Structures are given as C-alpha cells and as structure tokens.
C-alpha cells in the first residue's frame, strides 16, 4: 500500500470515527481544518481552496463547496454532481490534479457546505467526467464498503451503483441543509418549549415534505424538540397564523400525569418562539394551510 493510499485510508477512518462520535455527518469546519493524525502529524482536510491536496499526498484529497459560493455546483440530469474547475485555466495544478485522480480512479472526500462553517461529509467520491468546455468535473459518490476492494479498475456495476448512491446524497443534502438552516434561525431552541439541546431538535416542515406546495426554506420550518415535533406532525398541537400555539381540545381534557400537563397542555395559547430575523419568521400562509389541517383533526 503506497503512502498516498495509506493517508486516504487514515482520513476515511478518522471521518467515520468523528461521525460516530458526534452522531452527525455534518461536521464543523474547525474540526476539519485541524485535521487527522497520521504518523505523528496532523493532516488538514480543508483549506481556503475548494480543491485541496495536503503536501503529503500525490493527488487531491478533498473537494469542498460552501453555502456562499464561489461556485454554483449542482446535480446533472443523471443525479451525478457537477463540480466547477478552479478558475478558467484547464491546466491549473488543482484542475490537473482532479483530472489525474479521475484517470487513476483515486477516491476523494466531498464536503458540501450546508450552513456557514458546517459541512456534510461524503466519501468516497470519484471524478468520473471532465468537460473542459463547461469547466466542470462530474463527481459520483460510492459505497464506503466498496472502495477498499478496488484495484484501480472500473467494474461493470460501478456506474449504476454510483448513480443511485449519488441520488441519495442529493436527498441528504437537501434534508440536512434544511435542518441546519432552520435550527440556526431558531438559535438551537425548540420554538415551543425553548429546549436548547441541539441533538434533541428537529427541523419540522410546516407544509409537510412531499406536499405539492412544500418548500425547503426556513419560513416553512419550525425548530422543535422531538416530542413536540411528533405532537405537531400528529396534529396534537397546532400553530395559528398569528403565532399562537394551540393544543387540541381532547388533549386538553385528558388527565395523564405531569408530562401531559407540562409537556403539552401548558403550551396552549402560548406564543411561538420566533427567529431574531423577521425574514426567517414562519410564513403566515403556510401556517394557515397547516392550521386548517389541525382544526380538521380536532
């Protein structure tokens, strides 16, 4: 096993441990910039450049996008990821490095910025296409169980498997981006009970995901702890367009101990906690649509 491959193995193993330790595949930039240990030194995983090759490696190790740009990476019609060149020089060393990684089937790590300072980590990914005319590489994700068994060759099942896995990555990016933006807007607090443990918070859709008029935007989201998310989804609790929390009548009339009283009933007619920025407040039309559902359930 050559040095470049040893370092990639160490990087992939370290990422897996961080995801398991934190219980989350969205990682802070500070952790990625600090890097992973290898033979007595720390090797960073990100830099100010989108295409990053640590000095110890022969080929690039990571590609990164940020929520603010500079490039508008997107998915192609076949669900594979499009990643822009660095600049317009086809032979810039970073672009040449990704081209070499493509030719030699070298696995990389992809960090997609979901909110400033936080990145969804995806690995391994492969450069599978190069279009100099549009200054774009095509990137495909693969199974973490597949890459170690490779011997620098493309197998017949690679294309179909990678297209499927990359399509699931697209879904994860949308879901995690929505969650992180909503939780950040509410300053990591439940908008019903103000619980501040981020690991116990969800981003709840006001108009549920899958409905024709649902949108993955902050104004269609509420930061809710897991019990209140479940109660909201099952119409035990509703929110009026005037941001009043309402508990369903039959739930108000129940008698079932302190959890029911303090967890649900005490919320009745309380005001929703709103984000500091008014542009992130829940859309009143979305709330009206959802509150009608709540009233029908009652």
Residues 32 and 134 in one domain: yes
CB 169 within 8 A of CB 202: no
DSSP 8-state symbol, 209 = B
What is the number of structural domains in the chain? Answer: 2
Instruction: Tell me which of 124, 156, 182 is where a domain ends.
Output: 182
Q: Is residue 258 part of a domain?
A: yes
Structure confidence at residue 155 (pLDDT) = 54
Q: Is 255 found in the same domain as 143?
A: no
Same domain, 21 and 168: yes
Query: How far is 63 from 249, CA to CA, in rounded Å?
Result: 53
Together in a domain, 238 and 105: no
Which of the pair, 163 or 7, is modelled with greater confidence? 7
What does the mean pLDDT of the chain come to? Answer: 89
280 within domain boundaries: yes
Q: Are residues 177 and 210 in the same domain?
A: no
Q: Which of 182, 209, 236 is the endpoint of a domain? A: 182
Q: How far apart are CA 277 and CA 182, in angstroms?
A: 12
pTM for the complete prediction? Answer: 0.79
Q: Is residue 187 part of a domain?
A: no
The pLDDT score that the predictor gives to residue 73 is: 61
Q: What is the pLDDT of residues 113-130, one digit of tens each?
A: 988 899 999 999 999 999
Domain co-membership, 72 together with 30: yes
Question: How crowded is residue 224: how many other Cβ atoms within 10 Å of its Cβ?
Answer: 27
**Within this chain, do residues 209 and 236 fall inside the same structural domain, yes or no?**
yes
Reduced to 3 states (helix: H, G, I; strand: E, B; else coil), residue 297 is helix
User: Which has more confidence, 277 or 150?
Assistant: 277
Higher pLDDT, 68 or 264: 264
Residue 277 has pLDDT above 60, yes or no: yes
Model pLDDT, residue 78: 67
Instruction: Grade residue 74 by pLDDT with cuts at 50, 70 and 90.
Output: confident
Q: Give the integer Cα–Cα distance in Å for 270 and 257.
A: 20
Same domain flag for 154 and 213: no
pLDDT, tens digit, 9 for 90 and up, residues 145-160: 655 545 444 454 577 7
Asked whether residue 89 is domain-assigned, the answer is yes
């Amino acid at each position: 096993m050559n040095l470049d491959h040893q370092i990639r193995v160490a990087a992939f193993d370290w990422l897996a441990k961080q995801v398991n330790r934190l219980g989350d595949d969205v990682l802070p930039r500070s952790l990625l910039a600090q890097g992973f240990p290898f033979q007595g030194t720390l090797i960073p995983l990100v830099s100010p450049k989108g295409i990053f090759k640590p000095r110890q490696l022969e080929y690039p190790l990571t590609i990164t996008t940020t929520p603010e740009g500079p490039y508008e990476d997107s998915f192609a019609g076949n669900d594979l990821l499009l990643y822009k060149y660095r600049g317009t020089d086809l032979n810039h060393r970073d672009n040449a490095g990704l081209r070499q990684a493509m030719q030699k089937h070298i696995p990389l790590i992809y960090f997609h910025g979901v909110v400033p300072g936080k990145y969804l980590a995806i690995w391994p990914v492969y450069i599978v296409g190069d279009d100099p005319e549009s200054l774009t590489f095509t990137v495909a994700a693969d199974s973490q169980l597949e890459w170690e068994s490779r011997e620098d060759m493309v197998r017949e099942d690679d294309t179909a498997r990678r297209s499927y896995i990359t399509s699931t990555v697209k879904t994860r990016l949308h879901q995690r981006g929505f969650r992180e933006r909503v939780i950040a807007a509410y300053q990591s607090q439940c908008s019903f009970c103000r619980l501040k443990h981020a690991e116990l918070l969800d981003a709840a859709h006001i108009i549920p995901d899958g409905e024709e008029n649902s949108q993955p935007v902050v104004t269609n989201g509420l930061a809710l702890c897991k019990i209140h998310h479940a109660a909201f989804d099952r119409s035990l609790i509703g929110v009026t367009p005037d941001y009043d929390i309402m508990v369903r009548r039959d739930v108000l009339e129940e008698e079932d101990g302190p959890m029911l009283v303090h967890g649900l009933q005490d919320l009745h007619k309380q005001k929703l906690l709103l984000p500091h920025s008014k542009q992130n407040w829940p859309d009143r039309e979305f709330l009206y649509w959802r509150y009608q559902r709540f009233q029908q359930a009652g």
